[in-house]
Structure 1
Amino acid sequence: MSYAVSAALQATVYQRLLADPAVSALVGGAVYDAVPPGEAPMTYVTLGPEDVQDASDMTGAGATHDFVVSVVTGEAGFHGAKEIAAAISDALSDAALVLERGTLVALWFVRAKARRVEKGNTRRIDLTFRARVEG
């Protein structure tokens, strides 16, 4: 197994979300690896947890990365958050991303969970994607 591609995958996903026109139209530049200190924007996207499993074979090192991209909003209702989640899904599903290290073999949507947090005042959608990488 190799965890060596993890940082490159995260950086590429982050850049893809920042550069995607549909995501940008909905959240502007409010895409974060970590929410900056101080008051957070009303709506933002953040990169979250990651689970990695070995997927090496006789041809070399590889891994599957299950990672979470979250939409967080203080707006009433889930409609706006779901539009952002759809744009993220469109931007990442089956994307042919080039990594600085290693190779992305495939990237696909796995699941999503929408819920209210913080006594129902905040909505959050966690989208889980799976990336198969080599290198």
Structure 2
Amino acid sequence: MTYAISAALQSAVFAALNGDAALTSLVGDGIYDAVPAGSVPDIYVRLGSEVVREASDVSGDGAVHFFTVSVITTNPGFSSAKAAAAAVSDALHDADLTLVRGILISLRFERAAARRIDAASARQIDLRFRARVSDD
């Protein structure tokens, strides 16, 4: 197993989201690894948690990364959040990302959960993805 590709995968995911015209038309530059202090846009995307499992085989070291990308909005209803979540999913599902270390073998959407947050004044959709990487 190797966790060494985690930072490379995160950087590639962040770049893919920032480079996606459909997503940026919905959230502008509101795509964050860490949400900045102070005010944030009415709708934004945040890279979230990650769980990594061993996936080495005879070809070499590898891992499966399960990571979350969240869409958060204070806009009423779920409509704008769902549009942005769809754009995130379209940008990442089956994406062919180049990593600075290792190789991305596959990147798949796995599931999503939508909920009200902040005493129901905001909405959040968490999208979970599965990335298989190899350290070749």
TM-score scaled by length of structure 2: 0.98
Please give the per-residue CA displacement for 1:97-120, whole angstroms capped at 9, x wherever unaligned: 100000000000000000001110
Residue 28 (str. 1) matches residue 54 (str. 2) = no
| Displacement of 1:42 | 1.2
Please give the per-residue CA displacement for 1:47-102, whole angstroms capped at 9, x wherever unaligned: 00000000001111000000000000000000110000000100000001100000
- Taking the aligned partners of 1:7 and 1:96, their CA distance within structure 2 comes to 17
State the one-letter code of the partner of 1:112.
A
Which residue matches 1:6?
6
Which residue matches 2:42?
42
Which residue matches 1:121?
121
- Taking the aligned partners of 1:50 and 1:44, their CA distance within structure 2 comes to 19
Task: Structure 2 unaligned segments of length 5 or more: list them.
Answer: none
Which residue matches 1:93?
93
- Taking the aligned partners of 1:44 and 1:89, their CA distance within structure 2 comes to 15
Q: How many residues are matched?
A: 135
State the one-letter code of the partner of 1:96.
D
Which residue matches 2:133?
133
- Taking the aligned partners of 2:48 and 2:34, their CA distance within structure 1 comes to 8
Task: Structure 1 unaligned segments of length 5 or more: list them.
Answer: none
Q: State the identity %.
A: 55
TM-score scaled by length of structure 1: 0.99
State the one-letter code of the partner of 1:129.
F
Q: Note the aligned Cα RMSD (angstroms).
A: 0.5
- Taking the aligned partners of 1:21 and 1:13, their CA distance within structure 2 comes to 14
